[in-house]
Every structure is written in C-alpha cells, then in structure tokens.
Structure 1
Amino acid sequence: MLLFLIMSVLVLHSLHAAGRYYIMITPAFDLSQDPDYLTICIRVPYTRTSEFDLFIDGADFKFYAKPYFLRLSLPGRIVEDGTEKATFDIDKGVFTLKAPKETRGEHFGGLQMLTSLLAPKGSRSAKLLVEDMSAETGSETTGDGEEEEDEEEFDWQLEQEVYTDRSEEKLGTMQKYGFANQRSGVFGRLQEELSDVIDVKNPEETLASERRRARLEAEALAFSSDHYLADLFEDDEINRLLKFTPWWSKLSPSTEQKGESAVSFSDEEKEQLRKFTNRSFLLDKTSRCQAWLSLLDILLAYSYEVRSAEGEHNVESPWTIRKLSGTLCWLEVRLLFF
C-alpha cells in the first residue's frame, strides 16, 4: 500500500508540474435529492482536498480538481446558506456535496438525464476537451514594434461527455502495473499528459517485458561517456556531495534500544500519517516480492535525490525521483527480472 501511496503522490506532483495543456476530464457523478437538499457525488481519484474549487450560482454548478472538471446545468436552483456540507472519501476518491435547495420542498426532475445536465447552456457545438493554450495565446505587434499579449480568456463552456466505467472484461485485457502489479486502467483517460507523468506511451497495452526493454533502450540512448569522463576528472562537486550526511545516517540503533524514537515527525507529517488508512491485502509470494522490490527501487531514487540536492527538496525533486525509478517512470515490474 505504501508503494501505491508514494506513486500516487509523485504522479500528482508531476501532473501539477505540467503547464502547457489544460486537461478537462469529465468525472463520473450521480445526483440524488430529498425535499430540502440536492446531493452531488463526484468520483475524483488521485486528487487532494486542498485543490477543490466549487462554484454555485442557482442552477449553475461547477467543480474543478485538476484534471477533473464538471459543469452542471441543474433543473432547479441551489444556494449556499451555511447549511451545505461537503465531504471527501479518500479511500474511494468520492467527493460529496449536500446543497440546500433555494425553494425547500421543490422536486428537481430529470436528475438521471446526465447528458442533458452536462450540456452547456445556449450551445450544443462540440469542442475539444483538451486545448493547447500555448497555441491559442498569440501575440500582437503594436505600432511601436512592441508585442502585446492576447488576453483571451479560456472558454469554460466545454463540451462534456458522460463517464462510462470499463467493464470487468475490458479491464481484464489491460496490462497490469502499480502496487503489487494489481492496477490497470489508471492512465486510460490521461493520454495527453502521459509524457509528463510516465515515459510509457501506451501503458494499458504494453507488456511488462516491453516496458523494461524500452527503458533500457532509452537509458542507452541518453548515456554520454563524455559526461562521465568529465565527472571522473572534475570531481570537486561529486566529492562534496559524497561528504553530505543524509538524515538517515544520523539514526542510531542504540536510540531505539533505549526506548527512544529514532525518527521524529513534524505536526504536518503527523497529520498526513493520520489520513492514511490501514488496509490489508491478500498477496501471494510473487506479488509480495514484486511490491518490496518496487519500493526498494523508489527508495533508491529518493536517496539519490536527497544526496544530490544535499537534503534541500525543490520543485524538481518529484520529477527526479520519478525519472530515476523504473517502477514509476516505466511502470516496470521488478520481480520478473531478478
């Protein structure tokens, strides 16, 4: 489970680092009601509560949590009067909003007509769900020869599509990856951002052996003998990094023998640990070995990043760890090759 959590966090960091494309994925959702409230349940896995944006204006409802965007044209009006309630089930990845109706007792008809709820008001023209903002944002030259940026706003009246779950039969034909090699279909709707998350072009259809071969070929292509020769003879910086003492080198076995904690956590880290739920998995010997070896691969990448940055994490740290780890970057199944 820890491997999957680490992978999810690193993938999210990589997604947020991507700035060229605005990816609008319509999430799975459903609506229900009672006489006084409308309940909206939205499935948004791999997102964080700190990045949820909500907009309520009568019959107009918008929800955004990158890369998910949902805009609904409701059959009735809802309001924000202090009695609304929002929750997020981290395990299921489900956001739930219970919003009061403007007219208590009113019945909202057509809540099951998902396509109608998704349609933009005043328009039925199809638009791309993925738009290259760099291509839209042009520049104009003024009479003085100075360039003036075009401040055209992003069109939020995007055409949306009803989300449909893949059948068990379809998921069964996809290649496995991730924690204990048990995940599939995770990247199916993120094709446009895959290059910012992993280096595998089509993970759902690429065999584990092909992913490993592609990684080895990419590493061989990127290898530069001149670069390593330069590091061999101009080694001042490398020697400085080798002298750096990472935090785990300061841990003493005698500390734990005395009953003292070898590792201390900040209040923020303790809060993150409290949010992690305890899960049990029935794994066979093969899956268990694969999970441990994959975790070791990620920890080695993390160790390199800590030493090379001398303990100072920065905006490129998640990218560095992902790039060095075949488990994260190439979804490699380590067990098959030991």
Structure 2
Amino acid sequence: PEKSTFESRRRDRCKAENDKFNPDHYIADFMGVQDIKHLLKYKTEWTKKLKRAQQNDTNGTNNTEVNSMNLKGDSEKIEQLGAIRHPNTIGLSEVEDIRLTTENHKNNINDAEDILKFTEKEKSMMLNLPNKDYILQDVKSIYFGLADLLFAYSYNHRVCEGETTVESAWTIGKISPTISCLERFTTLRETIISLFRRSLAYPCYRNFELSQKCLEDVYVLMKLGRRAILKVLLEMKDIFDHSDVYYIYSKIWLDDYCIWCQTKASDKVIRSLAHQLHHYKVSKSDIGWHLEEYEQLALEDQTMG
C-alpha cells in the first residue's frame, strides 16, 4: 500500500468490485424485494429528528436548515438581536416584538440542541480525542470522503434498523471505499457510483432501491448539520474501537474526521453538498453491471414460469 498510487488503488478497487459482483445474488434480491420492504419503509431516527426540528421552526417554513445547531451554540448572537436598534428610538410595541422574536429564536435553538443533544458518553469521547490542527490541500475530497462514511453508516443503520451488531464494523468498512481502499474522490458522481457499486457487491442485501434509500439518509444527516454528523462519526468510532479487526481504522480515519468536523468543517459547504445529493439521480446504467438487463431477464423468466 505504501507504494501504491490513487490511480492504482482505484483500478484495484474497480477490479475487485467487478469480480465480487454476483448477478444471481442481485437478481434474487431484486425479485425478493418483499423480504426487505420493512427496511425500505424504515424511518431512521435522523429522519424523525429532522421532522421534529422542522416542526419546531418558529417561521413555519419548509426550508429549515438545522445547521443552526452549531457545536458552540448561537445564544449570544441571538441575545444581541434586541440591541440592533436603541429602545429609545422605537415604540413600545416594537420593543415587545423584538423581545418575542429574541425569545422565539432562543427557544428554536434550544429545541434544536435538545433534539441532537450529546450524551455523556459522546462528550467523554470528544474530550479524549487528540488535540490536532490540520493543513488541508484537497478540501473537496474531505467532504466527499465524509459523504462516503455517512453512506456506509446509513446502510448499516437502516439494515439493522438502528441497532449495532457484531457485523457492523465489517459492513461499514466494506461499503466505504475510503476505509477499505484508501480512496480519494474528486467528484460527487464518482463518489456515489462507487458507493452504489460496493453496496451491490459486498453486503447481505444487494438492492438498488435500498442503496437509494441510504443516499437519502445521507442527505438527511447533512441537512441536520454538523452536530448530527459528529454524533454519527462518534458512533462509528465507537463501533470500530470495539472491533478486534477494524479498530485501527478508528485511529486512521475517524479520529481525524471527528476533530475536523468540530473545528474545520463548513456548514455552508455541507448545506451545498446536501443540496447536490438531494437532486442527484443515480442511473442503473452508471453502475456498469447491466443491472437493467438482469432485471428484465428475471421478469421474463417469472412471466414464462
């Protein structure tokens, strides 16, 4: 690995995925979609948190960005809202309006932070992280790597219906090309295609619709913002820390991502990436394995049978 390049690792990854893809397994999961309907319908805890946060939006809009849940809190900024204009220059009714607006914003932030409140365990994990600073040259690939990790987490979270199993570290590690292949992406398209390929080649359930649901879950996490993302990264770190085989990846990747998410990650960039994910349409032809042809053959066999 120390002598490999990004290009050689990508070639090796694509070859391994091509060798691993099993048309029979894919067709079986395509035809047996009823067996995973409950997984496709599953509402993750993050979807519920986003819905609750949007319902708590005092403006009643549908475009609530829960990135106001920053890691330090915005209470001091909100308290300054009433001081924008001096009280002596406005009427009493306007003073009351400003006071109510300030209180509403405070309540909104408090509600948001309650929805994604850090547990004592998470706080302890953050305190135990090493103190590091980063000089980043290829920042874009860091965000694509984040999407990669969140997708792998989302697959495990959805398939296990929010629980953690002894296979969780393996599942996340196999689906994530960042972890398993030391991949570095330069575009969102190649990131998503790689994730779909691995989710259709390695884990137990290999269903295109399931992969689409996982991508939607990543959008929800990014919509919730850095606080939710950090909670997910800490959960992943805990999973890997307790794995006899995969614990090393916690030190290689997750420690740094947890620190970076707290100190360097940009809410603006995450919002932009969430927007792109929400509007990105993955085609089966992009995967490179003739998925539609396999599906058509399976449906024809079923009709003839």
- Provide TM-score, normalisation by structure 2: 0.41
The structure with the largest alpha-carbon Rg is 1
Higher RCO, 1 vs 2 (CA within 8 Å, ≥6 residues apart): 2
Considering fraction of residues, name the structure with more strand. 1
